[in-house]
Amino acid sequence: MIEGVLGEMPVRVSAMSGGCVGEVFRADLASGGSVVVKIDRSQRPLLEREGYMLRLLAERSSLPVPRVIACDERVLVLEMIENSGGPSDTGREDLARAVAELHGVKGERYGLEQDTLIGPLEQPNTPAADWASFFAERRILHFARDAHAQGALPTPLLRRCERVAERMATLLDDCEEPTLIHGDLWSGNVLWRDGRLAGVIDPAVYYADREVELAFMDLFGSFGRRFWEAYDQLRPIREGFWDRRRHVYKLYPLLVHVRLFGRGYVNSLQAELDAVEMEEKGKGDRRDSNPRPPGPQPGALTN
C-alpha cells in the first residue's frame, strides 16, 4: 500500500507512536529523506478529513504544519518534521507568536464549511452567527449526549451539562469575532527541535472564540509561564477568562475525553461544572488572576 502511494519502495518502514485515527509509520525513501504515512484500515476511514484540516491551516495561516504530500480516505502521506527534546523559553515564545498569528485569522461565522474531527470523533461545524449557541449546541450538548449514549457520562451530569447549555448566552456574554483555531493544542501535538518550535500536528480546526483554544491549552498541556506571558503581550487575554469563562470552555475537551476514555475523566468534568455553578452564584473568586498553567495531563488527543 505504501509503495503504491509513494511511487517507490521505501528502504525502511518503522512504526511510530500516537494517533487516534489509523496506524502511523515513518518511511525512509531510497531517493532520500523520510515521510510520515498514516493508514486507516477501518470500515469508516477518516484520513481525508485530517488532510483537509492540515491543508486548510497551511492555506489560511502561517502555523507550521506538515505539508500534505498525498491524501485519500485510507492513506495520508505527510512531510516528516523531526521532533527532539522539549522547548526552551525561546521555543515557548515561538509558539506564542505562532498561536497569536493564527488567532489573527478571522472568519465570517463560527464553525466551518464542513465537519472536522477531534481525535477520531466527528466535530460538527454547521456555521452560526452566534457563538454562545454554537458552543452550547455543537460542543456541549452534542458531546454530552453522545458520551451519555455510550454509557460514559452519568445521567445527573448530562442534566447538569444541559442546564449549563441553557445558560450559555449569559455565561459567554462577551464574545470575540470568529477566529481560526487549531482546536487540539496540547503538548503532544507540538514538535520541537533544539528547543525551538518545529511544527504543530493533528488539528481539529474551526472558527471559534479563541478563548476555547486557550482553555484547552491550559487544561491539556503546560507550555510554561513564558508562553502565556508572551502570548498575552501579543494578543491580550481578556479580563474574565482565567477566573470565569475558562471553566465553561474546559467542559468541551473534558466531555470529549469522557466519551473516548471513560469515567476516569468524570471527576474532572464534575469539578469544572462545580466551578461554573459557583461562579454563577457569586461564590467564586472574581479576581482575574495571572495565568498559572498546570502540568501536562495524560490522555490528550492525537488524530
**Residue in this structure with the C-alpha cell 448566552, named with its chain if needed:** 169
Q: How many Å apart are CA 175 and CA 184, to the nearest integer? A: 20
> Which residue out of 28, 72, 130, 184 is catalytically annotated?
184
Identity of the residue numbered 183: G
Of 214, 202, 276, the closest CA to residue 243 belongs to 276
SS3 readout for the chain: CHHHHHCCCEEEEEECCCCCCCEEEEEEECCCCEEEEEECCCCCCCHHHHHHHHHHHHHHCCCCCCCEEEECCCEEEEECCCCECCCCHHHHHHHHHHHHHHCCCECCCEECCCCEEECCEEECCCCECCHHHHHHHHHHHHHHHHHHHCCCCCHHHHHHHHHHHHCHHHHCCCCCCCEEECCCCCHHHEEEECCEEEEECCCCCEEECCHHHHHHHHHHCCCHHHHHHHHHHHCCCCCCHHHHHHHHHHHHHHHHHHHHHCHHHHHHHHHHHHHHHHHHCCCCCCCCCCCCCCCCCCCCCCC
Is the distance from CB of 183 to CB of 204 less than 8 angstroms? yes
- Whether 194 is a known active-site residue: answer no
Active site residues: 184
